[in-house]
């Protein structure tokens, strides 16, 4: 009982940290995008990624919040359909947006003499149709959940050892053979694009590193362009995504094939499913110095207010 309560508190704390982190990053990039005369597509993509993470955390964390605070289960069939559907859509959007972020960043840092430079978005508004496609595509391949998700309601006998208030009924084989290949194809295509773009960025960063060594040996001053620093942050994000994605797949495969009741493995798996949504904003805050920048701006505001009060 105590371990179960600790697990619930940890999951709730993890969800809250992830939501606050994504909200902070989202607000920062939205203000940077609107306030800057040069609308950077990367800022818009990162804002969409954090928004996707927030949806995933809210949908996944709502059931845990009910459990932690011992609230009355208010999730009926419609409520369960909505949150589970949004969770599935947000998970797909996370894959698509992360891959899209890597590809766009690779195009941005590509040499202008290369053919890739012609694909560079001329404006941030040019990437909005891709977001629409991602939402429509992931919404369509997740529509089967609307028919198969149910709330446990008063039927708690089969779910007394579970802290989930929604469950999935058996689906027809025809629907499975339509939905599963589409999900596998989506993951394969977008992760393939992510891997190719990441490899290309590693190649370009290696060439830049060789140039830096040359300038240092020649005792010449050389500054790293901001596009390359952004590429390094994107590569770290992609490593984080790949780690949590394949760890999630490994846990899912193990739990689906195992016959025993591994409660600890289930708890770890639940945390891993939110790992990327929680860690990605923290990584951006650390890499881009968002926390330092925010604290500095707050300090400047406080100092100006104190100066006004002093002179009055």
- Average pLDDT over the chain reads 78
Asked if the model's pLDDT at residue 302 lies above 50, the reply is: no
Q: What is the pLDDT of residue 240?
A: 93
Q: Looking at the 3D structure of the chain, how many domains does it have?
A: 1
Range of weakest confidence among 40-49, 99-108, 147-156, 303-312: 303-312
3-state SS of 40-102 is CHHHHHHHHHHHHHHHHHHHHHHHHHHHHCCCCCCCCHHHHHHHHHHHHHHHHHHHHHHHHHH
Cα separation of the two ends of the chain = 60
pLDDT of 117 strictly over 80: no
Tens digit of pLDDT for each residue in 122-154?
777 788 899 999 999 999 998 888 888 877 764
Q: Name the residue range of residue 235's domain.
A: 2-311
Residue 205: closest CA among 282, 111, 280, 113: 111
CA angle (108 as vertex; 112, 52 as ends), nearest 5: 165
pLDDT of residue 37: 66
CA distances from 109 to 44, 200, 201, 204 (A): 17, 10, 8, 8
The 10s digit of each residue's pLDDT in 214-271 is: 555 555 545 556 677 778 888 999 999 999 999 999 988 888 887 666 777 877 888 8
Residue 77: what pLDDT?
Answer: 78
CATH code of the domain covering residue 257: 1.20.1070.10
Measured CA angle at 18 (ends 197, 236), to 5 deg = 25
Find residue 167's DSSP bridge partners.
Answer: 150
């Amino acid at each position: 009982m105590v371990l179960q309560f600790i697990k619930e508190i940890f999951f709730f704390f993890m969800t809250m940290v992830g939501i606050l982190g994504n909200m902070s990053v989202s607000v920062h990039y939205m203000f940077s995008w609107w306030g800057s005369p040069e609308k950077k597509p990367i800022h818009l993509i990162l804002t969409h990624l954090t928004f996707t993470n927030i949806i995933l955390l809210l949908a996944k964390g709502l059931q845990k919040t009910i459990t932690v605070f011992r609230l009355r289960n208010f999730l009926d069939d419609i409520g369960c359909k909505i949150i589970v559907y949004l969770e599935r859509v947000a998970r797909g959007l996370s894959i698509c947006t992360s891959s899209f972020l890597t590809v766009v960043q690779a195009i941005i840092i590509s040499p202008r003499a290369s053919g890739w430079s012609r694909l560079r978005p001329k404006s941030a508004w040019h990437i909005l149709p891709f977001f629409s496609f991602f939402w429509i595509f992931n919404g369509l391949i997740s529509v089967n959940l609307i028919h198969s998700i149910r709330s446990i309601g008063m039927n708690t006998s089969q779910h007394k050892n579970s802290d989930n208030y929604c469950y999935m009924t058996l689906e027809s084989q025809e629907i499975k053979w339509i939905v599963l290949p589409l999900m596998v194809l989506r993951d394969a295509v977008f992760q393939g694009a992510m891997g190719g773009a990441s490899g290309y960025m590693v190649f370009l960063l290696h060439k830049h590193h060789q140039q830096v060594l040359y300038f240092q040996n020649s005792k010449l001053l050389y500054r790293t362009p901001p596009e390359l620093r952004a590429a390094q942050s994107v590569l770290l994000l992609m490593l984080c995504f790949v780690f949590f994605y394949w760890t999630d797949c490994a846990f899912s495969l193990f739990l689906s094939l195992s016959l025993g009741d591994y409660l600890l493995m289930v708890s770890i798996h639940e945390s891993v499913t939110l790992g990327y949504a929680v860690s990605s904003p923290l990584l951006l805050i650390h890499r881009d110095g968002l926390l330092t920048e925010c604290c500095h701006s707050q300090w400047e505001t406080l100092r100006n207010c104190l100066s006004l009060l002093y002179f009055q």
